[in-house]
Structure 1
Protein backbone atom coordinates (compact mmCIF):
# COMPACT_ATOMS: atom_id res chain seq x y z
CA UNK A 1 0.00 0.00 0.00
CA UNK A 2 2.87 2.41 0.76
CA UNK A 3 4.42 1.66 -2.64
CA UNK A 4 1.12 2.38 -4.37
CA UNK A 5 0.75 5.66 -2.45
CA UNK A 6 4.29 6.72 -3.38
CA UNK A 7 3.61 5.86 -7.01
CA UNK A 8 0.39 7.87 -6.92
CA UNK A 9 2.30 10.92 -5.65
CA UNK A 10 4.62 10.70 -8.66
CA UNK A 11 1.60 10.68 -11.01
CA UNK A 12 0.08 13.94 -9.68
CA UNK A 13 -0.07 16.94 -12.03
CA UNK A 14 1.45 20.07 -10.39
CA UNK A 15 -1.30 22.26 -11.91
CA UNK A 16 -4.61 20.50 -11.19
CA UNK A 17 -3.16 18.40 -8.31
CA UNK A 18 -4.98 15.40 -9.76
CA UNK A 19 -3.62 12.33 -11.45
CA UNK A 20 -2.42 13.00 -14.98
CA UNK A 21 -5.15 12.73 -17.60
CA UNK A 22 -4.61 11.67 -21.16
CA UNK A 23 -2.83 12.81 -23.11
CA UNK A 24 0.21 13.56 -20.94
CA UNK A 25 2.79 15.90 -22.53
CA UNK A 26 6.49 15.91 -21.66
CA UNK A 27 8.21 19.31 -21.47
CA UNK A 28 11.79 20.00 -22.65
CA UNK A 29 12.85 19.97 -18.98
CA UNK A 30 11.49 16.37 -18.71
CA UNK A 31 8.60 17.32 -16.41
CA UNK A 32 5.07 16.14 -17.22
CA UNK A 33 1.75 17.99 -17.39
CA UNK A 34 -1.77 17.22 -18.47
CA UNK A 35 -2.26 18.64 -21.93
CA UNK A 36 -5.26 20.62 -20.72
CA UNK A 37 -3.30 22.04 -17.77
CA UNK A 38 -0.36 22.86 -20.03
CA UNK A 39 -2.73 24.64 -22.41
CA UNK A 40 -4.28 26.63 -19.53
CA UNK A 41 -0.86 27.75 -18.32
CA UNK A 42 0.16 28.59 -21.88
CA UNK A 43 -2.94 30.71 -22.49
CA UNK A 44 -2.54 32.44 -19.11
CA UNK A 45 1.09 33.29 -19.97
CA UNK A 46 0.14 34.52 -23.43
CA UNK A 47 -3.25 36.22 -23.01
CA UNK A 48 -2.70 38.52 -25.98
CA UNK A 49 -1.45 35.85 -28.37
CA UNK A 50 -3.53 36.10 -31.59
CA UNK A 51 -5.75 33.11 -32.38
CA UNK A 52 -7.85 32.26 -35.38
CA UNK A 53 -10.73 29.81 -35.18
CA UNK A 54 -9.58 28.53 -31.81
CA UNK A 55 -6.09 27.61 -33.05
CA UNK A 56 -2.80 29.44 -32.60
CA UNK A 57 -1.41 31.45 -35.49
CA UNK A 58 2.06 31.93 -33.90
CA UNK A 59 4.23 30.37 -31.23
CA UNK A 60 4.53 31.42 -27.59
CA UNK A 61 6.29 30.54 -24.35
CA UNK A 62 5.62 29.81 -20.70
CA UNK A 63 7.54 28.55 -17.67
CA UNK A 64 7.40 25.04 -16.27
CA UNK A 65 5.50 25.17 -12.94
CA UNK A 66 7.91 22.60 -11.43
CA UNK A 67 11.35 24.06 -12.24
CA UNK A 68 10.57 27.48 -13.83
CA UNK A 69 12.39 26.40 -17.01
CA UNK A 70 11.21 28.43 -20.01
CA UNK A 71 9.30 26.36 -22.58
CA UNK A 72 9.22 27.78 -26.11
CA UNK A 73 6.41 26.52 -28.36
CA UNK A 74 5.95 26.71 -32.10
CA UNK A 75 2.74 27.60 -33.93
CA UNK A 76 1.21 24.25 -32.89
CA UNK A 77 1.31 25.36 -29.25
CA UNK A 78 0.87 22.67 -26.61
CA UNK A 79 -0.22 20.20 -29.27
CA UNK A 80 3.30 20.29 -30.64
CA UNK A 81 4.70 18.79 -27.42
CA UNK A 82 5.53 15.08 -27.33
CA UNK A 83 3.18 12.77 -25.46
CA UNK A 84 4.57 10.66 -22.64
CA UNK A 85 3.11 7.27 -23.50
CA UNK A 86 5.07 5.55 -20.75
CA UNK A 87 3.40 7.67 -18.05
CA UNK A 88 -0.01 7.11 -19.64
CA UNK A 89 0.51 3.35 -19.58
CA UNK A 90 1.65 3.49 -15.95
CA UNK A 91 -1.48 5.49 -15.09
CA UNK A 92 -3.69 2.89 -16.79
CA UNK A 93 -1.99 0.08 -14.88
CA UNK A 94 -2.24 2.03 -11.63
CA UNK A 95 -5.95 2.66 -12.12
CA UNK A 96 -6.59 -1.01 -12.92
CA UNK A 97 -4.67 -2.09 -9.84
CA UNK A 98 -6.45 0.47 -7.66
CA UNK A 99 -9.85 -0.61 -9.01
CA UNK A 100 -9.19 -4.26 -8.27
CA UNK A 101 -8.01 -3.56 -4.71
CA UNK A 102 -10.56 -0.94 -3.67
CA UNK A 103 -14.33 -1.17 -3.48
CA UNK A 104 -16.20 0.65 -6.18
CA UNK A 105 -16.99 4.13 -4.85
CA UNK A 106 -20.44 5.53 -5.15
CA UNK A 107 -20.92 7.64 -8.23
CA UNK A 108 -21.03 11.29 -7.40
CA UNK A 109 -23.62 13.51 -8.81
CA UNK A 110 -22.23 15.72 -11.51
CA UNK A 111 -24.44 18.68 -10.63
CA UNK A 112 -24.38 19.85 -6.98
CA UNK A 113 -27.74 20.00 -5.22
CA UNK A 114 -29.08 22.70 -2.91
CA UNK A 115 -28.58 22.09 0.79
CA UNK A 116 -32.02 23.57 1.66
CA UNK A 117 -34.01 22.14 -1.25
CA UNK A 118 -32.36 18.78 -1.73
CA UNK A 119 -34.19 18.01 -4.95
CA UNK A 120 -33.24 21.29 -6.61
CA UNK A 121 -30.04 21.76 -8.59
CA UNK A 122 -27.90 24.79 -8.05
CA UNK A 123 -28.51 26.77 -11.23
CA UNK A 124 -28.39 30.47 -10.31
CA UNK A 125 -25.91 32.78 -8.57
CA UNK A 126 -26.80 35.22 -5.80
CA UNK A 127 -24.91 38.41 -6.66
CA UNK A 128 -25.84 40.04 -3.33
CA UNK A 129 -24.24 37.35 -1.15
CA UNK A 130 -21.81 36.01 -3.74
CA UNK A 131 -22.89 32.35 -3.46
CA UNK A 132 -24.48 29.87 -5.91
CA UNK A 133 -28.05 28.79 -5.06
CA UNK A 134 -31.19 27.26 -6.55
CA UNK A 135 -34.35 28.74 -8.03
CA UNK A 136 -36.48 27.78 -5.03
CA UNK A 137 -34.21 29.78 -2.71
CA UNK A 138 -34.79 32.80 -4.96
CA UNK A 139 -38.56 32.38 -5.00
CA UNK A 140 -39.27 31.25 -1.47
CA UNK A 141 -36.03 31.01 0.40
CA UNK A 142 -33.33 33.21 1.89
CA UNK A 143 -32.42 34.86 -1.44
CA UNK A 144 -35.88 36.03 -2.51
CA UNK A 145 -34.93 39.71 -2.08
CA UNK A 146 -31.42 39.33 -3.54
CA UNK A 147 -30.08 40.13 -6.97
CA UNK A 148 -29.36 36.96 -8.92
CA UNK A 149 -27.86 36.09 -12.28
CA UNK A 150 -27.55 32.96 -14.43
CA UNK A 151 -24.80 30.74 -13.10
CA UNK A 152 -23.39 30.24 -16.59
CA UNK A 153 -22.71 33.96 -17.11
CA UNK A 154 -21.14 34.31 -13.66
CA UNK A 155 -19.09 31.18 -14.37
CA UNK A 156 -17.67 32.70 -17.54
CA UNK A 157 -17.00 36.02 -15.80
CA UNK A 158 -15.20 34.44 -12.84
CA UNK A 159 -13.27 32.13 -15.13
CA UNK A 160 -12.06 35.11 -17.14
CA UNK A 161 -11.09 36.92 -13.92
CA UNK A 162 -9.21 33.86 -12.72
CA UNK A 163 -7.45 33.51 -16.08
CA UNK A 164 -6.45 37.17 -15.97
CA UNK A 165 -5.24 36.74 -12.40
CA UNK A 166 -3.16 33.71 -13.35
CA UNK A 167 -1.68 35.58 -16.30
CA UNK A 168 -0.85 38.53 -14.07
CA UNK A 169 0.76 36.27 -11.46
CA UNK A 170 2.78 34.45 -14.11
CA UNK A 171 4.03 37.78 -15.49
CA UNK A 172 4.78 39.00 -11.97
CA UNK A 173 6.67 35.78 -11.24
CA UNK A 174 8.73 36.30 -14.39
CA UNK A 175 9.58 39.82 -13.30
CA UNK A 176 10.57 38.60 -9.84
CA UNK A 177 12.71 35.89 -11.42
CA UNK A 178 14.39 38.57 -13.52
CA UNK A 179 15.07 40.65 -10.40
CA UNK A 180 16.52 37.59 -8.65
CA UNK A 181 18.81 36.96 -11.63
CA UNK A 182 19.97 40.58 -11.53
CA UNK A 183 20.67 40.35 -7.79
CA UNK A 184 22.64 37.14 -8.25
CA UNK A 185 24.65 38.79 -11.02
CA UNK A 186 25.28 41.76 -8.73
CA UNK A 187 26.62 39.39 -6.05
CA UNK A 188 29.00 37.79 -8.54
CA UNK A 189 30.16 41.22 -9.72
CA UNK A 190 30.78 42.38 -6.14
CA UNK A 191 32.81 39.25 -5.38
CA UNK A 192 34.92 39.72 -8.52
CA UNK A 193 35.49 43.42 -7.83
CA UNK A 194 36.45 42.65 -4.24
CA UNK A 195 39.03 40.07 -5.35
CA UNK A 196 40.48 42.48 -7.91
CA UNK A 197 40.80 45.34 -5.43
CA UNK A 198 42.41 43.10 -2.81
CA UNK A 199 44.97 41.99 -5.38
CA UNK A 200 45.74 45.64 -6.16
CA UNK A 201 46.14 46.45 -2.47
CA UNK A 202 48.54 43.51 -2.06
CA UNK A 203 50.58 44.70 -5.06
CA UNK A 204 50.94 48.19 -3.59
CA UNK A 205 51.99 46.84 -0.21
CA UNK A 206 54.51 44.54 -1.89
CA UNK A 207 56.00 47.61 -3.57
CA UNK A 208 56.18 49.33 -0.19
CA UNK A 209 57.91 46.29 1.33
CA UNK A 210 60.48 46.24 -1.48
CA UNK A 211 61.31 49.94 -0.94
CA UNK A 212 61.75 49.36 2.80
CA UNK A 213 63.97 46.35 2.16
CA UNK A 214 66.12 48.37 -0.27
CA UNK A 215 66.44 51.21 2.25
CA UNK A 216 67.40 48.79 5.01
CA UNK A 217 70.05 47.25 2.78
CA UNK A 218 71.46 50.70 1.92
CA UNK A 219 71.70 51.78 5.58
CA UNK A 220 73.29 48.50 6.64
CA UNK A 221 75.90 48.93 3.91
CA UNK A 222 76.86 52.32 5.34
CA UNK A 223 77.32 50.86 8.83
CA UNK A 224 79.25 47.90 7.44
CA UNK A 225 81.60 50.16 5.44
CA UNK A 226 82.64 52.19 8.49
CA UNK A 227 82.84 49.06 10.60
CA UNK A 228 85.30 47.45 8.15
CA UNK A 229 87.33 50.67 7.91
CA UNK A 230 87.75 50.92 11.68
CA UNK A 231 88.48 47.22 12.06
CA UNK A 232 91.20 47.32 9.39
CA UNK A 233 92.84 50.33 11.04
CA UNK A 234 92.80 48.76 14.53
CA UNK A 235 94.11 45.44 13.21
CA UNK A 236 96.95 47.23 11.36
CA UNK A 237 97.85 49.18 14.50
CA UNK A 238 97.81 45.96 16.50
CA UNK A 239 100.30 44.40 14.11
CA UNK A 240 102.64 47.44 14.44
CA UNK A 241 102.58 47.26 18.26
CA UNK A 242 103.14 43.53 18.07
CA UNK A 243 106.20 43.96 15.86
CA UNK A 244 107.57 46.63 18.24
CA UNK A 245 107.01 44.33 21.21
CA UNK A 246 108.77 41.45 19.49
CA UNK A 247 111.79 43.69 18.71
CA UNK A 248 111.90 44.91 22.34
CA UNK A 249 111.90 41.33 23.63
CA UNK A 250 114.86 40.51 21.38
CA UNK A 251 116.78 43.54 22.74
CA UNK A 252 116.04 42.46 26.32
CA UNK A 253 117.29 38.97 25.57
CA UNK A 254 120.42 40.42 23.97
CA UNK A 255 120.97 42.63 27.05
CA UNK A 256 120.74 39.65 29.39
CA UNK A 257 123.34 37.79 27.33
CA UNK A 258 125.61 40.87 27.41
CA UNK A 259 125.33 41.06 31.21
CA UNK A 260 126.85 37.60 31.42
CA UNK A 261 129.98 38.64 29.43
CA UNK A 262 133.05 38.22 31.78
CA UNK A 263 135.50 40.19 29.67
CA UNK A 264 135.25 43.90 30.44
CA UNK A 265 136.57 45.05 27.10
CA UNK A 266 134.16 42.86 25.21
CA UNK A 267 131.34 43.91 27.51
CA UNK A 268 132.02 47.61 26.91
CA UNK A 269 132.27 47.06 23.18
CA UNK A 270 128.84 45.35 23.05
CA UNK A 271 127.13 47.70 25.48
CA UNK A 272 127.36 50.88 23.41
CA UNK A 273 125.17 49.77 20.44
CA UNK A 274 122.88 47.85 22.78
CA UNK A 275 122.14 50.94 24.88
CA UNK A 276 121.30 52.83 21.69
CA UNK A 277 118.80 50.11 20.68
CA UNK A 278 117.28 50.16 24.16
CA UNK A 279 116.82 53.92 23.94
CA UNK A 280 115.19 53.65 20.51
CA UNK A 281 112.93 50.75 21.56
CA UNK A 282 111.77 52.58 24.68
CA UNK A 283 110.19 55.29 22.54
CA UNK A 284 106.78 54.55 20.90
CA UNK A 285 106.26 58.03 19.57
CA UNK A 286 106.30 56.71 16.03
CA UNK A 287 103.22 54.51 16.78
CA UNK A 288 99.67 55.90 16.58
CA UNK A 289 97.23 55.91 19.48
CA UNK A 290 93.47 55.40 19.34
CA UNK A 291 91.52 58.19 20.90
CA UNK A 292 88.73 57.57 23.38
CA UNK A 293 85.41 56.65 21.77
CA UNK A 294 86.88 55.62 18.42
CA UNK A 295 85.08 52.27 18.57
CA UNK A 296 81.69 53.94 19.16
CA UNK A 297 79.07 53.48 16.37
CA UNK A 298 76.16 55.21 18.08
CA UNK A 299 76.06 58.00 15.50
CA UNK A 300 74.14 55.62 13.23
CA UNK A 301 70.97 56.01 15.23
CA UNK A 302 67.44 55.97 13.76
CA UNK A 303 64.07 57.38 14.78
CA UNK A 304 60.99 55.99 13.03
CA UNK A 305 58.26 57.77 15.00
CA UNK A 306 57.18 59.91 12.05
CA UNK A 307 57.36 56.98 9.65
CA UNK A 308 55.41 54.73 12.03
CA UNK A 309 52.72 57.39 12.34
CA UNK A 310 52.59 57.76 8.56
CA UNK A 311 52.30 54.00 8.06
CA UNK A 312 49.51 53.76 10.61
CA UNK A 313 47.60 56.48 8.73
CA UNK A 314 47.57 54.52 5.45
CA UNK A 315 43.99 54.25 4.21
CA UNK A 316 41.90 54.42 1.05
CA UNK A 317 41.54 57.85 -0.50
CA UNK A 318 38.13 59.44 -1.04
CA UNK A 319 36.69 61.02 -4.15
CA UNK A 320 37.46 64.45 -2.71
CA UNK A 321 41.15 63.58 -2.73
CA UNK A 322 41.36 62.87 -6.48
CA UNK A 323 42.74 66.32 -7.25
CA UNK A 324 45.36 65.97 -4.52
CA UNK A 325 46.32 62.60 -5.95
CA UNK A 326 46.91 64.16 -9.39
CA UNK A 327 49.20 66.76 -7.84
CA UNK A 328 51.08 64.05 -5.99
CA UNK A 329 51.55 62.09 -9.24
CA UNK A 330 53.46 65.08 -10.64
CA UNK A 331 55.95 64.77 -7.78
CA UNK A 332 56.10 60.99 -7.84
CA UNK A 333 59.86 60.92 -8.37
CA UNK A 334 60.60 63.00 -5.29
CA UNK A 335 58.06 61.16 -3.15
CA UNK A 336 59.41 57.79 -4.18
CA UNK A 337 62.86 58.84 -3.05
CA UNK A 338 61.34 59.83 0.27
CA UNK A 339 59.38 56.58 0.56
CA UNK A 340 55.89 57.98 0.00
CA UNK A 341 53.43 55.45 -1.38
CA UNK A 342 49.73 55.29 -2.12
CA UNK A 343 47.76 52.09 -1.61
CA UNK A 344 45.77 50.89 -4.65
CA UNK A 345 42.05 51.71 -4.61
CA UNK A 346 42.90 55.00 -2.89
CA UNK A 347 45.23 55.06 0.13
CA UNK A 348 46.66 57.94 2.09
CA UNK A 349 50.25 58.96 1.43
CA UNK A 350 52.70 57.70 4.05
CA UNK A 351 56.28 58.97 4.17
CA UNK A 352 58.59 56.14 5.19
CA UNK A 353 62.01 57.52 4.31
CA UNK A 354 64.80 56.77 6.73
CA UNK A 355 67.56 59.36 6.76
CA UNK A 356 69.82 58.66 9.74
CA UNK A 357 71.24 61.89 11.05
CA UNK A 358 74.99 61.69 11.49
CA UNK A 359 75.84 63.67 14.60
CA UNK A 360 79.23 65.27 14.91
CA UNK A 361 81.78 62.63 15.67
CA UNK A 362 85.47 62.63 16.28
CA UNK A 363 87.93 60.08 15.02
CA UNK A 364 85.43 58.57 12.57
CA UNK A 365 88.30 57.71 10.25
CA UNK A 366 91.78 56.36 10.81
CA UNK A 367 93.38 59.64 9.70
CA UNK A 368 91.68 61.62 12.43
CA UNK A 369 92.03 58.88 15.02
CA UNK A 370 95.77 58.95 15.05
CA UNK A 371 97.84 61.10 17.38
CA UNK A 372 101.48 61.19 18.16
CA UNK A 373 102.36 59.80 21.55
CA UNK A 374 104.60 61.90 23.73
CA UNK A 375 107.77 60.39 24.93
Structure 2
Protein backbone atom coordinates (compact mmCIF):
# COMPACT_ATOMS: atom_id res chain seq x y z
CA UNK A 1 0.00 0.00 0.00
CA UNK A 2 2.80 2.40 0.87
CA UNK A 3 4.50 1.67 -2.39
CA UNK A 4 1.27 2.31 -4.28
CA UNK A 5 0.93 5.58 -2.52
CA UNK A 6 4.55 6.51 -3.28
CA UNK A 7 4.15 5.53 -6.93
CA UNK A 8 0.92 7.47 -7.15
CA UNK A 9 2.65 10.56 -5.68
CA UNK A 10 5.58 10.10 -8.07
CA UNK A 11 3.16 9.87 -11.00
CA UNK A 12 1.36 13.02 -9.83
CA UNK A 13 4.70 14.82 -9.56
CA UNK A 14 5.71 13.61 -13.02
CA UNK A 15 2.40 14.71 -14.54
CA UNK A 16 2.75 18.08 -12.83
CA UNK A 17 6.33 18.35 -14.08
CA UNK A 18 5.23 17.40 -17.60
CA UNK A 19 2.55 20.11 -17.46
CA UNK A 20 5.17 22.67 -16.48
CA UNK A 21 7.45 21.45 -19.28
CA UNK A 22 4.57 21.66 -21.75
CA UNK A 23 3.84 25.22 -20.59
CA UNK A 24 7.53 26.11 -20.95
CA UNK A 25 7.62 24.59 -24.45
CA UNK A 26 4.57 26.62 -25.45
CA UNK A 27 6.14 29.73 -23.96
CA UNK A 28 9.40 29.02 -25.85
CA UNK A 29 7.54 28.62 -29.13
CA UNK A 30 5.65 31.87 -28.53
CA UNK A 31 8.92 33.61 -27.67
CA UNK A 32 10.56 32.21 -30.84
CA UNK A 33 7.66 33.55 -32.91
CA UNK A 34 7.96 36.97 -31.22
CA UNK A 35 11.74 36.99 -31.80
CA UNK A 36 11.20 36.21 -35.49
CA UNK A 37 8.54 38.93 -35.82
CA UNK A 38 10.73 41.47 -34.02
CA UNK A 39 13.75 40.54 -36.13
CA UNK A 40 11.69 40.91 -39.31
CA UNK A 41 10.48 44.37 -38.20
CA UNK A 42 14.06 45.37 -37.31
CA UNK A 43 15.33 44.16 -40.70
CA UNK A 44 12.56 46.00 -42.51
CA UNK A 45 13.19 49.20 -40.53
CA UNK A 46 16.92 48.99 -41.16
CA UNK A 47 16.39 48.34 -44.86
CA UNK A 48 14.04 51.34 -45.07
CA UNK A 49 16.58 53.60 -43.35
CA UNK A 50 19.36 52.45 -45.65
CA UNK A 51 17.11 52.91 -48.68
CA UNK A 52 16.45 56.47 -47.51
CA UNK A 53 20.19 57.06 -47.06
CA UNK A 54 20.85 55.68 -50.56
CA UNK A 55 18.16 57.95 -51.99
CA UNK A 56 19.61 61.00 -50.24
CA UNK A 57 23.13 60.10 -51.40
CA UNK A 58 21.96 59.55 -54.97
CA UNK A 59 20.12 62.89 -54.95
CA UNK A 60 23.20 64.75 -53.63
CA UNK A 61 25.41 62.89 -56.09
CA UNK A 62 23.16 63.99 -58.94
CA UNK A 63 23.20 67.61 -57.79
CA UNK A 64 27.00 67.64 -57.43
CA UNK A 65 27.54 65.93 -60.78
CA UNK A 66 25.24 68.50 -62.39
CA UNK A 67 27.22 71.35 -60.79
CA UNK A 68 30.50 69.86 -62.01
CA UNK A 69 29.08 69.42 -65.51
CA UNK A 70 27.77 72.99 -65.55
CA UNK A 71 31.12 74.42 -64.48
CA UNK A 72 32.90 72.20 -67.00
CA UNK A 73 30.63 73.46 -69.78
CA UNK A 74 31.15 77.09 -68.73
CA UNK A 75 34.92 76.74 -68.59
CA UNK A 76 35.14 74.88 -71.89
CA UNK A 77 32.89 77.48 -73.56
CA UNK A 78 35.04 80.32 -72.18
CA UNK A 79 38.23 78.62 -73.38
CA UNK A 80 36.77 77.93 -76.82
CA UNK A 81 35.61 81.56 -77.16
CA UNK A 82 39.08 82.72 -76.14
CA UNK A 83 40.68 80.29 -78.58
CA UNK A 84 38.41 81.61 -81.34
CA UNK A 85 39.49 85.18 -80.57
CA UNK A 86 43.13 84.06 -80.63
CA UNK A 87 42.52 82.36 -83.96
CA UNK A 88 40.89 85.47 -85.41
CA UNK A 89 43.77 87.64 -84.22
CA UNK A 90 46.27 85.16 -85.62
CA UNK A 91 44.48 85.20 -88.96
CA UNK A 92 44.46 89.02 -89.02
CA UNK A 93 48.12 89.10 -87.98
CA UNK A 94 49.06 86.61 -90.70
CA UNK A 95 47.21 88.66 -93.31
CA UNK A 96 48.93 91.83 -92.06
CA UNK A 97 52.30 90.07 -92.24
CA UNK A 98 51.60 88.99 -95.83
CA UNK A 99 50.59 92.55 -96.76
CA UNK A 100 53.73 93.94 -95.12
CA UNK A 101 55.96 91.42 -96.94
CA UNK A 102 54.34 92.35 -100.29
CA UNK A 103 54.94 96.03 -99.48
CA UNK A 104 58.63 95.26 -98.90
CA UNK A 105 58.76 93.58 -102.30
CA UNK A 106 57.25 96.56 -104.16
CA UNK A 107 59.74 98.04 -106.55
CA UNK A 108 58.57 101.64 -106.58
CA UNK A 109 59.83 103.89 -103.80
CA UNK A 110 56.71 106.07 -103.81
CA UNK A 111 54.41 103.04 -103.57
CA UNK A 112 56.52 101.62 -100.79
CA UNK A 113 56.52 104.86 -98.79
CA UNK A 114 52.74 105.22 -99.09
CA UNK A 115 52.06 101.62 -98.03
CA UNK A 116 54.76 101.31 -95.37
CA UNK A 117 53.72 104.23 -93.17
CA UNK A 118 50.32 102.70 -92.29
CA UNK A 119 51.72 99.16 -92.21
CA UNK A 120 54.41 100.07 -89.69
CA UNK A 121 51.79 101.43 -87.29
CA UNK A 122 49.47 98.45 -87.84
CA UNK A 123 52.24 95.85 -87.33
CA UNK A 124 53.49 97.57 -84.16
CA UNK A 125 49.95 97.77 -82.78
CA UNK A 126 49.27 94.12 -83.64
CA UNK A 127 52.51 93.01 -81.95
CA UNK A 128 51.66 95.01 -78.81
CA UNK A 129 48.12 93.65 -78.74
CA UNK A 130 49.35 90.06 -78.83
CA UNK A 131 51.50 90.71 -75.75
CA UNK A 132 48.43 91.75 -73.77
CA UNK A 133 46.27 88.80 -74.79
CA UNK A 134 43.66 87.75 -72.30
CA UNK A 135 44.61 84.48 -70.65
CA UNK A 136 42.78 82.19 -68.24
CA UNK A 137 43.70 82.73 -64.61
CA UNK A 138 46.31 80.33 -63.21
CA UNK A 139 44.49 77.22 -61.99
CA UNK A 140 41.44 77.94 -64.21
CA UNK A 141 41.46 74.30 -65.29
CA UNK A 142 41.29 72.93 -61.75
CA UNK A 143 38.11 71.34 -60.46
CA UNK A 144 39.39 70.18 -57.07
CA UNK A 145 37.00 72.48 -55.19
CA UNK A 146 34.42 69.77 -55.87
CA UNK A 147 36.07 67.32 -53.47
CA UNK A 148 33.90 65.59 -50.92
CA UNK A 149 35.19 64.58 -47.50
CA UNK A 150 33.49 61.38 -46.37
CA UNK A 151 35.86 60.27 -43.60
CA UNK A 152 33.53 61.42 -40.80
CA UNK A 153 30.53 59.62 -42.26
CA UNK A 154 32.62 56.50 -42.93
CA UNK A 155 33.75 56.51 -39.28
CA UNK A 156 30.16 56.86 -38.05
CA UNK A 157 29.02 54.03 -40.31
CA UNK A 158 31.91 51.82 -39.19
CA UNK A 159 30.86 52.28 -35.54
CA UNK A 160 27.29 51.16 -36.19
CA UNK A 161 26.43 48.05 -34.22
The reply to whether TM is greater than 0.5 is: yes
Larger Rg: 1
- Paired with 1:302 and 1:201, the residues of 2 have a C-alpha distance of 26
Q: How does 1:138-157 map to 2 (within 5 A)?
A: 154=1
Cα-to-partner distance string for 1:292-347 (whole Å, 9 max, x where unaligned): 333333444444444333333445xxxxxxxxxxxxxxxxxxxxxxxxxxxxxxxx
Corresponding residue of 2:56: 211
- Paired with 1:256 and 1:164, the residues of 2 have a C-alpha distance of 133
SS at match of 1:284: helix
Aligned-residue CA RMSD (Å): 3.0
SS at match of 2:129: coil
Cα-to-partner distance string for 1:49-103 (whole Å, 9 max, x where unaligned): xxxxxxxxxxxxxxxxxxxxxxxxxxxxxxxxxxxxxxxxxxxxxxxxxxxxxxx
Quick check: which one's strand share is greater? 1
1:308 aligns with 2:148: no
Which contiguous aligned blocks of 4+ residues in structure 1 show a shift greater than 6 angstroms?
none
Count matched residues. Answer: 160
For structure 1, the residue ranges without an aligned partner over 5 or more in a row are 1-153, 316-375
Q: How does 1:352-363 map to 2 (within 5 A)?
A: none
Quick check: which one's helix share is greater? 2
TM-score (norm: length of structure 1): 0.37
Corresponding residue of 2:123: 278
Cα-to-partner distance string for 1:131-169 (whole Å, 9 max, x where unaligned): xxxxxxxxxxxxxxxxxxxxxxx4xx6546545544553
Cα-to-partner distance string for 1:207-256 (whole Å, 9 max, x where unaligned): 22322333333333333333332222222111111110111111222222
For structure 2, the residue ranges without an aligned partner over 5 or more in a row are none
Corresponding residue of 1:15: none
TM-score (norm: length of structure 2): 0.75
Contact 1:240 / 1:287 at 8 angstroms: preserved in 2?
no
Q: How does 1:14-29 map to 2 (within 5 A)?
A: none
